[in-house]
């Protein structure tokens, strides 16, 4: 089996395109990491998948293997899975389509947001982003059939800006290691599964740092997260800061997100590694679990999907279960709707 990653001594993973293989597109091969000793202990694993179709046929044994790797906090990298941008869509690889206000262009349902242009152009842009949404959703369904019936498709985003260099507050600065948590949309422990694809036309990698395991991060930072105030959840909902009540789980996840980003020593001193995603590479992770930071790169598509803990192979590895183990209490009211 040919390893499809090139690993240099300091643990950087280069997710370069593979040399073509004889295996038919859609056949899946799990490529084991060849030199684990170069990766710092306890850092997010990277699993390379030799898949070149958005609708692959995957053997049952591989399905479970990939799902368990994902649920254990790995990033699954598919260096041969490019998103097909049509000739007349290459014009969209330009920041001029942004409305200049929103960080990303996004598609929610049929509506394209954060973009500007003539109605025809915006409809074409929406079709491109919508095609990625369909491809990414099909991929997740094909790779993880057990999830398929439970998947809740959320926002699709197209990110035309460079990952670094935009002036944002530290809290919004995604070049700092963090787990994803949404201030206005409590998810009460539901998972955040994301599919990313680098569509850069100029050969520029998207570069991430990934950090230590969720549990190691939580044990280190949770003592610095304040408790919820009495009545805080109801007040946030009444003021429409949140859509629905913020559970204690959501409060702690936001607290961890903020503590990690605010802590300069943590940003530089915690165990981490770099991953380079070449153009034409797709990758998948639970972004509520994987400590990640976008260092550089431009032009990326991303699909967010939610799924309930009941869909998982190993719900005990989820952030909710880990935080409940650490705090020793229920963080979401199980009977609430």
Contact status, residue 45 vs residue 69, Cβ threshold 8 Å: yes
Residues 6+ away with beta carbon under 8 Å from 89: 124, 128
Nearer to ligand SIN, 161 or 313 (CB): 161
Q: Closest Cα partner for 211 from 295, 290, 323?
A: 290
Residue whose CB is nearest to ligand SIN in the complex, by number = 294
Rounded to the nearest whole angstrom, what is the least distance from the CB of residue 193 to Fe ion in the complex?
A: 13
Q: Give the residue, chosen from 300, 311, 322, 323, that forms a contact with ligand SIN under the rule CB under 6 A.
A: 300
Which backbone phi and psi does 285 adopt, to 5 degrees?
Answer: -160, 160
Residue whose CB is nearest to Fe ion in the complex, by number = 180
Please give the residues from 132 up to 161 whose contact with ligand SIN meets the rule CB under 6 A. 159
C-alpha 234, offset from chain centre: 29
- Residue 258 interacts with Fe ion (CB under 5 A)? no
Q: Which whole-number Å values give the CA distances from 298 to 172, 201, 276, in the listed order?
A: 17, 9, 13
Burial status of residue 263 (CB atoms within 10 A of its CB: 0-12, 13-18, 19 or more): middle
- DSSP per-residue letters across 199-231: --TTSPPEEEEE-B-HHHHHHHHGGGSPPPPTT
- DSSP per-residue letters across 103-165: SSEEEETTEEESB-S-HHHHHHHHHHHHHHHHHHHHHHHHH-HHHHTT-EEEEEEEEEEESS-
Q: Which residue has the tokens 């999907």?
A: 305
- Residue 177 interacts with ligand SIN (CB under 6 A)? no
Q: Give the residue, chosen from 180, 215, 258, 302, that forms a contact with Fe ion under the rule CB under 5 A.
A: 180
Q: Give the residue, chosen from 7, 66, 206, 257, that forms a contact with ligand SIN under the rule CB under 6 A.
A: 206
Q: What angle do CA 285, 286, 291 make, to 5 degrees?
A: 90
Encoded tokens for 320: 């909710």
C-alpha 149, offset from chain centre: 20
- Residue 66 interacts with ligand SIN (CB under 6 A)? no
- Residue 288 interacts with Fe ion (CB under 5 A)? no
Distance CA 71, CA 282 (A): 18
Nearer to ligand SIN, 176 or 246 (CB): 176
Residues 6+ away with beta carbon under 8 Å from 315: 309, 321
Region of 52-60, 106-114, 128-136, 179-187 interacting with Fe ion (CB under 5 A): 179-187
- Residue 285 interacts with ligand SIN (CB under 6 A)? no
Q: Could you say which DSSP state residue 26 is in?
A: T
Nearer to ligand SIN, 300 or 332 (CB): 300
Region of 29-37, 66-74, 232-240, 292-300 interacting with ligand SIN (CB under 6 A): 292-300
246 binds, among ligand SIN, Fe ion, none (CB under 5 to 8 A by kind): none
Nearer to ligand SIN, 260 or 311 (CB): 260
163 binds, among Fe ion, ligand SIN, none (CB under 5 to 8 A by kind): ligand SIN
206 binds, among Fe ion, ligand SIN, none (CB under 5 to 8 A by kind): ligand SIN
Q: How many residues bind Fe ion (CB under 5 A)?
A: 1
Nearer to ligand SIN, 7 or 178 (CB): 178
Q: How many residues bind ligand SIN (CB under 6 A)?
A: 8
300 binds, among ligand SIN, Fe ion, none (CB under 5 to 8 A by kind): ligand SIN
Q: Give the residue, chosen from 5, 135, 174, 324, that forms a contact with ligand SIN under the rule CB under 6 A.
A: 174
- Residue 288 interacts with ligand SIN (CB under 6 A)? no
Nearer to ligand SIN, 80 or 159 (CB): 159
Distance CA 192, CA 77 (A): 17
Residues contributing to the site for Fe ion (CB under 5 A): 180
Residues contributing to the site for ligand SIN (CB under 6 A): 159, 163, 174, 206, 287, 292, 294, 300
């Amino acid at each position: 089996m040919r390893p499809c990653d090139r690993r240099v001594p300091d643990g950087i993973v280069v997710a370069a395109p593979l040399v073509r293989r004889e295996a038919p597109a859609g056949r899946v091969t799990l490529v084991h990491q060849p030199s684990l000793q170069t990766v710092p202990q306890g850092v997010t694993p990277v699993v390379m998948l030799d898949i070149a179709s958005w609708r692959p046929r995957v053997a049952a044994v591989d399905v479970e293997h990939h799902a368990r790797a994902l649920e254990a906090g790995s990033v699954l990298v598919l260096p041969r899975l490019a998103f097909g941008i049509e000739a007349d869509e290459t014009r969209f690889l330009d920041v001029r389509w942004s409305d200049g206000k929103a960080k990303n262009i996004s598609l929610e349902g049929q509506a394209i947001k954060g973009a500007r242009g003539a109605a025809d152009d915006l409809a074409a842009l929406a079709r491109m982003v919508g095609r990625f949404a369909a491809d990414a959703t099909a991929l997740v369904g094909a790779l993880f059939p057990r999830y398929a019936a439970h998947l809740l498709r959320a926002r699709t985003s197209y990110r035309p800006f460079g990952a670094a260099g935009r002036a944002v507050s530290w809290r919004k600065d995604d070049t700092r290691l963090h787990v994803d948590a949404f201030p206005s949309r409590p998810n009460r422990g539901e998972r955040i599964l994301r599919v990313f694809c680098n569509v850069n036309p100029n050969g520029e990698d998207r570069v991430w740092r990934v950090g230590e395991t969720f549990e190691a991060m939580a044990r280190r930072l949770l003592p610095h997260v304040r408790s919820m105030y009495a009545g805080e959840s109801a007040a946030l909902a009444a003021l429409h800061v949140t859509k629905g009540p913020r559970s204690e789980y959501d409060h702690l996840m936001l607290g961890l997100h903020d503590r990690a980003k605010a802590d300069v020593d943590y940003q530089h001193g915690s165990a981490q590694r770099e991953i380079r995603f070449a153009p034409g590479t797709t990758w998948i992770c639970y972004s509520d679990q994987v400590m990640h930071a976008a260092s550089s790169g431009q032009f990326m598509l991303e699909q967010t999907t939610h799924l309930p803990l009941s869909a998982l192979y190993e719900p005990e590895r989820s952030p909710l279960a880990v935080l409940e183990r650490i705090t020793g209490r229920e963080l979401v009211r199980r009977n609430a709707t």
